[in-house]
Amino acid sequence: MKENVQQILDHFHIEQFQHDLIHWFVKEQRDLPWRKEKDPYKIWVSEVMLQQTRVDTVIPYFYKFIEKFPTLDALAEAEEKEVLKAWEGLRYYSRIRNLHAAVKEVKEKYDGCVPASKEQFSSLKGVGPYTTGAVLSIAYDIPEPAVDGNVMRVLSRIFYITDDIAKGSTRKKFEQLVSCIIAHDNPSDFNQALMELGALICTPKSPSCFLCPVQRHCRAFAEGAEGKLPVKTKGKAPKHVSFRAIVGTGGRVRCSIF
């Protein structure tokens, strides 16, 4: 039987967990360029770059991009050709096209200020629930959940949740869970700490449980089950199709599917 969020939180020491997690993050966090200031535009750019791309790869692109477009206005006013050129090498060009369209909208509608309202920010092009939570919490200290695959893996283990993380309903459950446990006095560090824990300690394979700052809260560790989580079903297997090649006269090849 799947538990609801209230049942999951029974006997969980939320304040102690927040303290252990944030205390570790403050001491151990990586020195990343987008963490140097709380500029919502730069945090937004970094979050878009980090989708499907590793931190080490993103860092030099981030410096180059911010040097060329240091402000939201500079990016909004730039020609698409220039913007695509600065993105060259990061692939997934729809991400930068959407960001470019979104910052133009911010310049027009909100006078160039990234909106701190969930409704307004999440309605911008290419902005989904994860980006909304990440930018609003990190830049504006708004206690919004930022749940991606990394965070779902970490929380599946801490709370021993066996729901399939490939399902949209599971992501919603994790968002509700984070809304209940997020530190309202420091949502920025709380969300970043969960992401950092997933990147450095609670990694997909062989998590470093003996170095983990929240080990005493972790139900999967207590059961020796961290290697079984998260549960994730694979997508449908590709349909098997057989081909028969018939070589005709003149060396022409005809294929039939059977």
Note whether 90 binds ligand SF4 by CB under 6 A: no
Note whether 158 binds ligand SF4 by CB under 6 A: yes
- Residue 208 beta carbon to ligand SF4: minimum distance, rounded to whole angstroms: 6
Q: Which of 78, 165, 202, 230 binds ligand SF4 (CB under 6 A)?
A: 202
Q: Is 47 a catalytic residue?
A: yes
- One-letter identity of residue 199: A
Report the alpha-carbon distance of residue 118 to residue 132 in Å, rounded: 7
- Residue 219 beta carbon to ligand SF4: minimum distance, rounded to whole angstroms: 8
Residue in the structure block whose two tokens are 């089950």: 225
Note whether 21 binds ligand SF4 by CB under 6 A: no
- Residue 152 beta carbon to ligand SF4: minimum distance, rounded to whole angstroms: 12
194 closest CA partner among 162, 148, 226: 148
254: phi then psi, degrees, rounded to nearest 5: -115, 135
Note whether 209 binds ligand SF4 by CB under 6 A: yes
Site mask for ligand SF4 (CB under 6 A), range 103-142, x = bound: ----------------------------------------
Note whether 181 binds ligand SF4 by CB under 6 A: no
- Residue 90 beta carbon to ligand SF4: minimum distance, rounded to whole angstroms: 30
| Beta bridge partner(s), residue 234 | none
Q: Which is nearer to ligand SF4, 115 or 213 (CB)?
A: 213
Q: Which of 100, 157, 171, 173 binds ligand SF4 (CB under 6 A)?
A: 157
Catalytic positions, please? 47
Sites of contact with ligand SF4 (CB under 6 A): 154, 157-158, 201-202, 207-209, 212, 214-215, 218, 220-221, 226
